A and B are shown apart, each in its own frame.
Chain A
Amino acid sequence: MFSELIKQIPGITIYPIVVTVAFFLTFTGIIIWAIRADRKYVKHMSELPLDTQEYKGDEI
C-alpha cells in the first residue's frame, strides 16, 4: 500500500551514503569536543544529582 507513495522519492540510494558520512563526521566531532571540554564545567555537571554545591549561576 505504501509502495506507490514511497516509490516517488527520487534518488533514495544516495541517502545511506550521506548518512554514513554524516555519522562518522558527527562522532569524530563529538569525541574531539568531549576531550577538549572545560574541566570546571564537567565537574559542575557531574555533581548535579548531589546537593553538594551552592548554585553558582551561569558563570561556569
Chain B
Amino acid sequence: MSGIETFQYDNKIVKQFTIATIFWGFVGMLVGLIVALQFFWPALNLGIAQTTFGRLRPLHTNAVIFAFVGNGIFMGIYYSLQRLLKARMYNDLLSKLHFWGWQLIIVLAAVSFIFGVTTSKEYAELEWPIDILVAVVWVIFGINMIGTIIKRRERHMYVAIWFYIATFFTVTILHVVNSIEIPVSLLKSYPVYAGVQDALVQWWYAHNAVAFFLTTPYLGLMYYFLPKAAERPIYSYRLSIVHFWALIFIYIWAGPHHLLYTALPDWAQSLGTVFSIMLIAPSWGGMLNGLLTLRGAWDKVRQDPILKFMVVAVTAYGMATFEGPLLSIKSVNALAHYTDWIVAHVHVGALGWNGLLTFGILYWLVPRLYRTNLFSVKLANVHFWIATLGMIFYAIPLYWAGIAQGLMWKEFTADGFLKYPIFMETVLQIIPMYMIRALGGTLYLIGVIVMIYNLAKTIQGATCPDNEEAQAPALQAADGHHGEKAYWHRWIERRPVQFMLATVVLVAIGGIVEIVPTYLVKSNVPTISSVKPYTPLELEGRDIYIREGCYTCHSQMIRPFRSETERYGEYSKAGEFVYDRPFQWGSKRTGPDLHRVGGKYPDAWHYLHMLDPQSMASGSIMPVYPWLINDDLDISSTPTKIRVMQKLGVPYPEGFDQQAVDDLREQSLKITASLQESGIEVSYKKEIIALIAYLQRLGIDIKGEND
C-alpha cells in the first residue's frame, strides 16, 4: 500500500470559467432578445449594417453556444474532473491559456460577425484565422484534460469522464473536417466542399455540435452534479455504459435530418431519419438515469431549487430528444422545416437542458467555491419559476406560429390554387406569436438577472481560495487478477488511451459512411450541363449575400412539393449547386425562398426593395440595406477569388482571373443601364449592382431547358 499524497485542486480556474459563463450567458441572451424584438419591430435593425438581424443572429447563436455553454462546460469539467480523478489539472499554464484563449475567441467572434466577416455556415461562422485559434485552444484543453486523466489517482474513470473524452475527440474531428477552407484573404475563405457535399458536411457538423457540444458534455456534468446535489448515486451505472456507447455511435449519423426533402440523395436522408429515431433510446437512457436518481427523494426536489432546475433540465432534455426524432420523420419534417417549430425545438433544448442545468450547477457550485451559503434560496426559487414560465412563453407561441405558417404555405383552394400566394400574408399572421416569444425571452433573461444578483450577494464579503487541499493515496500498479467476475467494461475504463481510440473509431464511422459516397457515386449529384459557374460580378454579389447573413431568413432550396413548385418554381436539383461555395440552402423562411428569384422581378424592384423592403412589400419585417447603395464594391480580391475557385475545380477558363475585373465592370454597366431605364441613377461601382447580378442569376440556369 502506498502512502497518502497531499495535493491541491485548482479552484481559481473554476472560478474564472464560472464568471465567464454568467457574463456571456447574459450577453448572449440579451442579443437573443434584441433579435427576437427585430421580428416585429424591424426599426430595431437601426438602419446600419452592424446591427441588422443577419449579422446579429450568428452573434446570438455563437454567444449562447460557445460562450455561455462553452464556458459552462469548462467550469463543470475543471471542477468535476479534478475531483473524480483525485488529481490537480495537469498544467496550470495550459489552464490559463485555455481560459484566456477561449475568451479571446469569443471577443474576436463578436467583432468579426458584426462586421460581416462570416462563412455563413451555421455554428461554424468563424473565418479561417479564428478557426485556427479555436483548434489551438481546443488542443490545449485536450492536452490539459488528457494529461490529468493520465496522472490520476483514481484508476477507474467515472461515466462523466467518458462523456468528456468523447466530447473532446469528436469536436476535434467535427471542427477540422467542417473547417477545411481555402483562404482568399485574411478575412475570407471558401470551403473545399460545394453544394450538396457542403450541405452534408455542414449539417453533419452542426448536428454533431448539438450532440457533442450541447449534449455529451452536459450529460457528463449531469452525471456528476446531479448526484452531488441529490446526495445519492446515479440510478444505474450499467445503463450509463449502454447509453453512452449507443449515444456516441448513433448521434453522428443523424445530421441528414436537417436536409430532408432537399437535393440531398435519398439514401442519405433515410439514414438520417432512421438513426435519428434510434437515438431516442440512448437519449432517454440518459434522461431516465438522471430522473430515477431521485426516486424516493422527490421531497428533496420540493425544497431545493437546485434540484428543481436539474429535474426540469433533464425533463426538457427528454422532451427535446423525443421531439427531435419526431421532427426527423419525413412527413413531420415536410411541415416543420423552415418554420418556427424548429426554433421552438431548439430553444426547449437550449433554454431547458443547457440553460437550466447551468443555473442549477451555478447555484450549487458558487457557494461551495466561495465557502459560504447562497444569499437567498427564495430568490433561486423565484428564478426557477420565472425561467420555466419564460420557456413556456417562448415555445408555445412558436409551435403555434410554426404549424400555422407551415400549413398556410401548403394550403390550396378548391380550384387548385395556393390559398396564401403572397408570402407576406403568412408572416403577418404570426407576428403576435413573435411578440409573445419575445416576452418569453424577456422573462428568461430577467431570471438570469435575478440569478446574477443572488450570486453577487453570495460572494460579497467572501473569498474563493485559489486552491483546495485534498488527500488521496497514490495510484497503485494494477494487478492482473480481477477475481471471478472479470468485467469487460472495467478493462477499458482503466485504459484511457484505448478508450479514446475506441471513441474516435465509433464516431468516425458514421461520418465516413455518409460523406464519402457523395463523392464516389456520380448519381448522387447528377451533372446538369446548362449549369455554369458564377460570373465575377455574381460571385461578389454572392459574397455580399453571405456577408449580410441573408441565409438567416431566406432559404435557397425548393422542395419537391406542389405547394412549393407553385409558389417558387421548379424544385431544386442537386446538380444546380455544384459551384456553390459555401452552399446557401438556409434553414429558415422568415422570408420567401430565393432559389428561383432570378428573372422574377426587374432590376429596379431589387434596388428599391434592398433600399427599403417596405416600399415594395408592405408590412415587411426585413431590415433596410441603404449602405449597399452608398458603398463601393471592393474588387481588390476578385482575381484571387477566381483563382481559388479554379483551384477547387470550378471550370473558369485558363487566365480568366486576369479578365475578371473587366468582366465584372462590363456586367455592372449593363445593370446600371437597365436601372437607368427605370429612372434609377446609381454608379456601376456600388455593391447593390453586384447583389442584383447575383439575385438575378439564382435558379435561371435550368430554365432554358423548360422554355
Contact = CB atoms under 8 A, between A and B. Distances in A.
A35 interface: yes
A49 B84 contact: yes
Contacts of A55: 154, 472-473
Interface string A45-58: 11111100001011
B84 A45 contact: no
Interface stretch (B31-39, B131-139, B239-247, B554-562): B239-247
Given A47-B233, A50-B231, A15 B487 contact: no
Given A31-B242, A49-B84, A58-B155, A37 B489 contact: yes
B224 interface: yes
A15 B473 CA distance: 47
A52 B223 CA distance: 16
A19 B509 contact: yes
B238 A35 contact: yes
B607 interface: no
Contacts of A30: 241-242, 245, 489
Interface residues of B, number: 49
B142 interface: no
Given A37-B487, A58-B479, A48 B154 contact: yes
B572 to A, nearest CB: 22
A41 B490 contact: yes
Nearest to B479: A58
B509 A33 contact: no
A50 B223 CA distance: 11
Contacts of B517: 12
Interface string B185-212: 0000000100000000000000000000
Interface in B226-241: 227-228, 231-234, 236-239, 241
Contacts of B233: 43, 46-47, 49-50
Interface in A1-60: 1-3, 6-7, 9, 12, 15-16, 19, 23, 26-27, 29-31, 33-38, 41-50, 55, 57-58
13 contacts: A2-B192, A12-B516, A15-B513, A19-B509, A19-B513, A30-B242, A30-B489, A37-B238, A42-B237, A45-B237, A49-B158, A57-B473, A58-B155
Given A33-B489, A34-B239, A57-B1, 9 more contacts: A2-B519, A7-B520, A34-B242, A37-B485, A41-B490, A45-B158, A45-B159, A45-B237, A46-B237
Give the 8 A-B residue pairs with the shortest CB-CB distance, closest first: A46-B233, A38-B485, A34-B238, A46-B237, A48-B158, A33-B488, A42-B237, A6-B519
